[in-house]
Amino acid sequence: MVAGSSLPSPPLLITDLAKSVPGGRVLFAGLNLCMAPGEIVAIMGESGVGKSTLLNLFAGLDQADRGRIEIDGVDLAALNEEARTGLRRDRIGFVFQAFHILPHLTLAQNVALPLVLARQRQAHALAEANLMLGQVGLPGRGGDFPAQVSGGEMQRIALARALVHSPALVLADEPTGNLDPQTAETILTLLCDRVRASGAAAVIVTHSERAAAAADRVLTLTAQGLAVHGD
């Protein structure tokens, strides 16, 4: 804990992280990363190298074999399951390749989920969600159901949901993987703009060089650790 410290805590601080798959094969070891507030980091790598596992570790959905992960100055290892869930709810936003928009909720309800989970009042949560929908280019669509929107619009909704509760860190897993190139471009720009505007840091796991190019830093994940992309 960094209570009393005058310096702002980094949104994500990783020290000597290591993870193997159940079979025993080492995915990666000796990972180190320190992110600054507002920074966008893209992580690339070959399939199966453990990019998604890494995001799961950041989110507290998976346990590392070794090393330390701090979100917003809080050591994940020091938290129990319940506290990790709370941390995720309050401090992290998610964007998925497969959108994961609940079909039976309205767009506003989908976006408002993190606020509702944090027990904000429904009216307030829905107002915030509609505001957020406006910011991602879907003004006035809060009452629609997901069946009525396109794939690109799905990801806009997902983005709105990831940012609606002002997280310190946004984790995005192949956010443009299911989109055609033109839509992907638009969404990526929007994602970076909105993340920067909110002051959050973001980790984008992607195969796309174009996506990576929008980031402040691009890193490659290998079994040996994180390297600056291109090295």
Number of helices (H), then strands (E), belonging to the chain: the values are 7, 10
CA dihedral 31, 87, 76, 16 (to 10 degrees): 10
What CA–CA distances, in Å, run from 156 to 19, 100, 171? 32, 12, 15
155 binds another protein (CB under 8 A): no
Closest to another protein by CB, 73 vs 216, is 73
52/58 Cα distance (integer angstroms): 10
Count of residues that bind another protein according to CB under 8 A: 34
Considering only residues 43 through 102, tell me which ones interact with another protein, judged by CB under 8 A: 52, 56, 59, 61-62, 81-83, 85-90, 92, 94, 96, 98-100, 102
201/38 Cα distance (integer angstroms): 4
22 binds another protein (CB under 8 A): no
Please name which of 121, 120, 122, 158 lies closest in space to residue 138, comparing C-alpha atoms.
Answer: 158
Map residues 97-136 to x or -, x wherever contact with another protein holds by CB under 8 A. -xxx-xxxx---x---xx-xxxx--x--------------
Interface with another protein (CB under 8 A):
52, 56, 59, 61-62, 81-83, 85-90, 92, 94, 96, 98-100, 102-105, 109, 113-114, 116-119, 122, 151, 161
